[in-house]
Amino acid sequence: MQVLNNLKWRYATKKFDADKKINDEQLSCLKEAIRLSPSSYGLQLYKVLIISDLEIKKQLQPLCWQQSQITDCSHLFIFCSYKNYNDNDVDEYIKLVTTEQGLEYTTLEGYGSFIKGKVSEKTPTEQTAWLERQPYLAVSNLIMACAEQQIDTCPMEGFTPEDINRFFQLDNKNLNAVVMVAVGYRSEDDTAQHRKKVRKAENDLFEIVGS
């Protein structure tokens, strides 16, 4: 399967070629891959910031442990979860579904109530943890879409969310930065590309339950 070849090809790029950029068509494809990602109940309770401006990336670098990927990558994707859940998020989703699928709102009103009920069962701490997990499936889709096009990536949690939130004034937008993905093309000087990919053996990772 080509997907396995793509996964074997990719690695967490440590040094990008700052002169190589992804084009508009490629960026559009990556955005669509993110948009089509699964999420809990389909709510997509996150937003993605995309930064290509070098001056902004230079300002971000000190907030991200001075990592060179921040400035050298073509585009930096910052995945931000919602800080707080609101029942209106469900109402807006149900409206969107019924509009797109040509249904009456009452058709899915019960499903909306079900979602609200399940989320309300979570404690505030559980809701925060749940919200912060939401972007990660989209991150995986982005990485896979990049690998298919031979575009390099480096997923990154090496930053202080509070600093990024302050920089972009995310608190005012009910957003919280949780993970970044640097996207671009590997430098020929990146020695990490020549390292053997190391993963757990199949028997150590999987346990077959039942027959």
Domain assignment present for 122 = no
Domain assignment present for 153 = yes
Q: So what's the pLDDT on residue 171?
A: 97
Domain assignment present for 142 = yes
pTM of the model: 0.97
C-alpha 16, offset from chain centre: 19
Pairwise CA distance, residues 99 & 126, whole Å: 31
Domain assignment present for 6 = yes
Domain assignment present for 96 = no
Q: So what's the pLDDT on residue 153?
A: 98
Q: The domain containing residue 15 runs over which residues?
A: 2-85+135-205
Domain assignment present for 42 = yes
Q: How many beta carbons lie within 10 A of that of residue 140, not counting itself?
A: 15
Instruction: Return the structure tokens found at 124.
Output: 């505030």
Domain assignment present for 115 = no
Q: So what's the pLDDT on residue 109?
A: 96
Q: So what's the pLDDT on residue 150?
A: 98
Domain assignment present for 21 = yes
User: Which residues fall within 8 angstroms of residue 169, CB to CB, at 6 or more apart?
Assistant: none
Q: So what's the pLDDT on residue 122?
A: 98
Pairwise CA distance, residues 18 & 117, whole Å: 48
Q: So what's the pLDDT on residue 149?
A: 97
Task: Please report which helix (H) or strand (E) contains residue 47, including its range.
Answer: strand 46-51
- Specify the 3-state DSSP secondary structure of 46: strand
Please report, in tens digits, the pLDDT of each residue of the chain (211 residues total): 899 999 999 999 999 999 999 999 999 999 999 999 999 999 999 999 999 999 999 999 999 999 999 999 999 999 999 999 999 999 999 999 999 999 999 999 999 999 999 999 999 999 999 999 999 999 999 999 999 999 999 999 999 999 999 999 999 999 999 999 999 999 999 999 999 999 999 999 999 999 7
The count of structural domains within the chain is 1
Residue 187: give its domain's CATH number: 3.40.109.10
Pairwise CA distance, residues 140 & 156, whole Å: 12
Q: So what's the pLDDT on residue 1?
A: 83
